[in-house]
Structure formats: C-alpha cells, structure tokens
Structure 1
Amino acid sequence: MAIQWFPGHMHKARKEIAKIMPKIDLVVEVLDARLPVSSENPLVHELRSGKPVIKVLNKSDLADEVRTRSWVEHFSTGDTQAIPLCCDNKGEVKRLAALCKKMVPNRVSADRPIRVMIMGIPNVGKSTLINGLLGRKIAKVGNEPAITKAQQRFVTHNGLAIYDTPGILWPKILDQDSTFRLAASGAIKDTVMEYEEVALYALDFLLKDYPDLLVARFKLKELPEKPEQALDEIGRRRGCLRSGGVVDYHKAAEILIGDLRAAKIGRLTFETVAEWQHKAQLREAARLEELARIEQEKPDSKE
C-alpha cells in the first residue's frame, strides 16, 4: 500500500517554514511515541537549517515505556534532545518549557523570548502542546489530520514565542512499514487507506510483539496463527456478521483500528531502535553496492 499525500496547503506551509526559519532559535518536533521514526518527517531535518531541536515523544502514555526510554536515549545526542511527554499533562509541559530555556541560554540571559517553532506531521498533538504551553486554548485541536492549515504565532507568558505550523507530510513515504503505521495511528486520513489491509498489518504486529495484549482485549481462547484468522475471530466475537454468519471484515477492521488508536488494547510501540538501525545498515549496504555497480560500468579510461 503506497500512500502519497501532499495537499496544496502542505506545499505552502513548507515554503512559509523555510522563509521564517532564520528567525527561529529552537525547533520542537512533535513525534508519536508509538512510532518515533515513522512519524519523524525528514523535511524537518532539511528545513531546520542546523537549529537545535527537541524531539517530543508525545502520547507517551499510550506507548511501551521500555521502548520509549530506548528511543529517548537514541535521539538525545549533539544539538538534539528528546523528551517523553503527554501534552495534556501540565507538569510535563512545564518540564518541556524549562528544557527550551536550557537549550538557548543566550536568549534567556538577554531577557528575550525564545523563538520556538512547533513542527510535526498531522495528528501528533502539536495544537494540544501549544495550548498546554500557553495555559489556555488557542490552537484548534481535533482528532484528525490537517486541522491546522496556516502558520500562526503566539507568545507565552513564560518567555517563549511559539510558532505553530500545519502538519506536513513528505511527498512520498518510501518505507512500507511506516506507511502502515502512520495509517494505523491516524496520521493519514482514513479516506486514503484500506481498513482491512491496515488492520491485517496491525494484527501481524500484535501477534508477534504483543500477543498477550491482543488475547486479553478480545478475549480470545487461543492465539491465532495468522492475522487473517485473528481478524475473523475478532469479527465473530464483536458481532460483525452479515446474513449467513459471514464476517464483515471491514467492520471488524474498524473495531480493531479504533481500539488500537484509543489504546484500549494496551500500551504499545510499533518500532524499536534495533529495527531502524538494521534498516539503516541495509540502506547503506544497498548504496555501496549501487556505487560499486556504477564504478564497474564506467568505461576503462585507458581504452
């Protein structure tokens, strides 16, 4: 399942971000703690122009705590710091504000507000975070992607000048796992996904990584061997039946994805540091192999 989703307002947002970035002191990139790399937009790295960045692993209350700690350690290096967060937790939001000041001490010592740009893909919680930093509801919040469509600027009372940006996806998602994970989490509009296909991917993941949570949530008598069997059993147990006792797999898939997004299945994280390190090694090996092939195909300079 390949997804390409780059609406006009996202293209416009990219141009606006590039224009204002020279005035920014610090970038706060909001990620989904359940899929830290899949929700990490490569355009953020491109557009931040070397500015220090705080990677906020939001929705950490929905994620696997052990895997979240591993991701925080992995991301925190050089001019990048990572912090787990639940954006509607006032105490955690205050901790983020303090970290912003720590990372840009020259602005604090000059008694000037730190100019912070909030960035991230759709539906990761940017607006909720901004409202938490402001202590009041300013940015529009919604449980669907692409709520914010125009850049906005807010100044907090505690020394932060905050720039909100629309959630932007990159033109084409190349990693197949990321495509499914983004769809399962709700970062991509439901109108561009196939529910059954995404549900089967999610079930395959749950069978391998969190089988006990799957069994407990849907009261399965035994662990199915295949995702298709799991979806069939969920449909039967939740009454997703058509005439003749045939399972309505679309309805069963909706239930599975809904429970997954609402964390009713339990706290889980789709990806590990080791997985993405392995993928990076494979990409580098493929790159070197391609370079060697090109070198071999070059005409002999002596001829």
Structure 2
Amino acid sequence: MEEQNGSKINIQWFPGHMTKAKREMQEKLKMVDFVIELRDARIPNASRNPMLDELCKQKPRLIILSKRDKAQASYTKQWIAHLSNETTKVLALDILKDSVTQMVVDASQQLMKAKIERMIRRGIRPRAMRAMVVGVPNVGKSTFINRISKKKIATTGDRPGVTKALQWSRVNKDLELLDTPGVLWPKFEDEQVGLLLAVTGAIRDEVLPIDEIALWAMRWLLENHSEALTKRYDIPLKSDPHAMLEAIAWKRGFLKNGQEVDWKRTIETFLREIRDDRLGSITWEIPDENSK
C-alpha cells in the first residue's frame, strides 16, 4: 500500500434508488407538518444533505444528532446551540439508550406549538403531528423509527442504504412518521465531506478506495487525537500514517507468511474500530459559520 501524497481522493455514490427517493420525497412533503432530520453527532455538517435543505426549506425541522455516545459531549453541546433557530430544534440522542419517544414527542410539540394553538383557537381538535424522517445512509434512521415506535417497522442494518422505500409508522396519538431511504447527493463539493462520510460508514466500503480513506483518517487522528491511538494500540507514535498502520499490523499480528503485512485486514480493522467507537468518543467536525 502506497500513500498518494497530494492526490485528490475521489468519492462519489448516487445509486438509482436515491434519485427515485428524492422525487417521492418531494411528492410526500405536502403531507407532513415538519421534518425530522437525523445527522451523525460525530460529523454534524458532513452528514447534512444540502439536497434535503432545498427540498425541506419550507418546513420546520427537528434535527436529531444521533450516535451522541460516539461524539465528544462538549462539541455536541456547541453544535446544538449552533444549529438551533426559530424554525429548527436540535436534540442529541443515543437512540438505543435514551427515552427516545418522550423526548422526540416533547420536542415535536414545542416545534409545532404555534400550529397546534392555531388549530385549538379555530375549534379544531389537534390531530397527530406528521413528520418525514430524512437523513444520509447509515445515520440510524431505521433504528430510530423502530425504537420510537416500539416495534420493528423499518429494516435495520450495519451498512448504508438498507431502507429503499417510503413507509408510514404511528408512534402514538400525537405523532406519525414517514420513513424515507437514506439519500446522498450527486456530487460532494468539498472533498472532506466525502472523506468524513466514508470514515464513519455512510458509504459502502465496496465502492471506496479504502486504503486512501484509512491513510487520511490516520493522518487526521495523528494531528488531532494522537492520545487515542496510543491508548488503543499501545505503540509509539509515528508521524507517517502509513508507518502507523504498518506498526498496528505488526502489533496485532496481521501478517501473511509471518513477515508480510496483511494490508486488507489491517485497514478493515482500523476503520471498523473507528466506527465502533473503539478509539473513544471522537467528534470529527467543530461548528463554524459555514456549517449551518
């Protein structure tokens, strides 16, 4: 495995079912009161789909920063403040452990408070709020749907792109959800967005140059979280990401014929351990004015 110094890493993925999903989402938006957008708390900007921004701009939005347990709490708090505004409410959730249903219903009622009050003033009995659930692949949408509904409605998987069709689910008398497939956009304008989505598992490894992704991730960790590498792998730090991966291979015994590094196994293990939080809770992005 050779490091490509200065070369651009090309990451693009826009399967046909996503084009169809975009069209269906446009048609269904008029049926909902607001949008629930799931983003990955580790990469709140990179997991924001600008195509969804355009589709849903006329609707109030509840942004859920999923996988909060995998992100650094101090940065998540900053992101919540950064993303919140008059028409947008933000929650950070550990979908498998938090009281998801109550937290989301409460936040939804706060977001839609003005509309509910208008209905009451007009003598209309408030109906269940209807929300479209959107987000990029593998951000936890299907797990969220099943957890909040307290039954298995959406298909889940540890790989992106499992949900392929739109489907309704009733949470309770106050909330109904429309699940949608995870949608990526046709072109990543910022190379780092694609890299962050790849590192955290939003894009299938089969379509990625994973050796380049691993080298980029290792370089970033050496610059920003070297202590996590030291703690996890118990090896001396090296400035070169290629040398670090090689040292991990020798430490773990990922070798062929006892003396040649098994790069495939080393890279796959390294990326899996990042995604499984084995290096600790890490936020890969901090908020700035361009990350709304």
**TM-score of the pair, normalised by structure 1:** 0.87
Structure 2: which 5+ runs fail to align?
Answer: 1-8
* One-letter code aligned to 1:174: E
Quickly say closer, same or farther: Cα 1:107–1:212, change in 2 above 3 A.
same
Give structure 1 stretches of 5+ with no counterpart.
282-303
Match of 1:189 among 204, 215, 218: 204
- Counterpart in the other structure of 2:189: 174
* 1:40 equivalenced with 2:48 (yes/no): yes
Moved more, 41-50 or 144-153: 41-50
Letter in 2 for 1:240: F
| 1:72-151 matches, cutoff 5 A | 72-105=80-113, 106-107=115-116, 109=120, 110-151=125-166
**Measured at CA, do residues 158 and 133 of structure 1 come closer, stay the same or move farther in structure 2, by a change above 3 Å?**
farther
Q: Which amino acid aligns with 2:88?
A: T
**Partner Cα separation in structure 1 for residue 143 and residue 132 of structure 2:** 14
1:249 maps to a residue whose letter is W
Partner of 1:254: 268
By how many angstroms is 1:111 displaced? 2.2
Which of residues 28, 31, 34 in structure 1 aligns to 2:39? Answer: 31
- Structure with the largest fraction of helix: 1
Identity %: 35
Which amino acid is 1:270 matched to? Answer: W
- In the comparison of the two structures, how many residue pairs are matched? 276
Q: What secondary structure does 2:256 align onto?
A: coil
Contact 1:97 1:133 in 2 (8 A): no
The correspondence of residues 155-234 of structure 1 with structure 2, limited to 5 A, is 155-220=170-235, 222-234=236-248
Residue 269 of structure 1 is matched in structure 2 by: 283
Please give the secondary structure, in 2, of the residue aligned with 1:119: strand
Extract structure 1 runs of 4+ deviating beyond 3 A.
Answer: 107-110
Q: What code does the residue aligned with 2:286 have?
A: T
CA distance in 1, matches of 2:259, 2:184: 41
Partner of 2:3: none
AA aligned to 1:175 is D
Q: Secondary structure at the match of 1:27?
A: strand
What does residue 56 of structure 1 align with?
64
CA RMSD of aligned residues (A): 1.5
Higher CA-based Rg: 1
State whether residues 87 and 93 of structure 1, in contact with CA within 8 Å, keep that contact through their aligned partners in structure 2: no
How many Å separate the matches in 2 of 1:228 and 1:127? 36
